[in-house]
Amino acid sequence: MQWKTLLRVTPRSGVLRGAFVFLAGIAFGGYLFADSQPRSFLAVPSCGTCYRANDLAGLIASVGIQRAPAALLRVVKETDRCLAIEHPFPTTKLHFVVFPKKDVRSIADISIDDQPYLLDCLAVIRALVVENGLRNYRVETNGPGLQKVTYLHFHLESTLDQSSVAAAADAVAGTYH
């Protein structure tokens, strides 16, 4: 009899439980998005800065990279300030995507405080080039209008048309033919 009394849901206990879940959600959301750049949530017809699908993807990427990098798949290199993954839909034989671990939407949004993160991304790109013996490669980034995910990231792409073993040895030794 006592258990039934304890488990009984009354309108008042339902409201209290709902209020608790709501406040817990706000607190958890505040933690997750604390280091993200502000973005507009209101979908007003004349809004030029409201969320689009790629903005929402960027916000989710920001949270994943900053709060749960261990949950990301295909991570090939990680530092305190940068993360590199194999591209899930590669356009070349070798295609990495390198992200700073700070929410930066695009090149236009870079501040002086972002410098260590971006320099670390370039160091990671260099390491990937050397480790994979790349000679024919491209590094690129897109502006917000061309990004599928509105989060600053760099693509390292290569056709791998060189001998990987010989090229890697040359790259480490600092000799290029």
The pLDDT tens digits for 89-106 are 898 999 999 999 888 888
Domain for residue 58, yes or no?
no
Domain for residue 80, yes or no?
yes
Domain for residue 139, yes or no?
yes
Closest CA to 158 of 84, 91, 92: 92
> Which whole number is the average pLDDT over 145-161?
84
Compare 36 and 126 and report the one with higher pLDDT: 126
Domain for residue 155, yes or no?
yes
Residues 6+ apart with CB under 8 A from 39: 49, 51, 55, 59
Domain for residue 145, yes or no?
yes
CATH number of domain containing 122: 3.30.428.10
Q: Which amino acid is at 152?
A: L
Adjacency order of strands within the sheet including 75-78 = 75-78, 82-86, 94-100, 154-158, 137-140
Q: What percent of the chain has pLDDT over 90?
A: 34
Domain for residue 144, yes or no?
yes
Q: Above 90 in pLDDT, residue 12?
A: no
Compare 81 and 27 and report the one with higher pLDDT: 81
Predicted local distance difference test score (pLDDT) of residue 2: 58
Buried b (16+ CB within 10 A) or exposed e, 111-149: eeebeebbebbeebbeebbeebbbbebebeebebeebeb
Contact present, 88 and 74 (Cβ < 8 Å): yes
CA distances to 15, 26, 49, 159, 171 from 95, rounded to whole Å, are: 51, 38, 31, 9, 19
Domain for residue 132, yes or no?
yes
> Which whole number is the average pLDDT over 19-32?
66
Domain for residue 26, yes or no?
no
Burial of 158 (0-12, 13-18, 19+ CB in 10 A): buried
Alpha carbons 56 and 39: distance in angstroms, whole number: 9
Q: What is the pTM of this model?
A: 0.64
Q: Above 60 in pLDDT, residue 9?
A: no
Q: Above 50 in pLDDT, residue 52?
A: yes
Residue 161 belongs to what domain range? 73-173
Number of domains in the chain: 1
Contact present, 149 and 61 (Cβ < 8 Å): yes
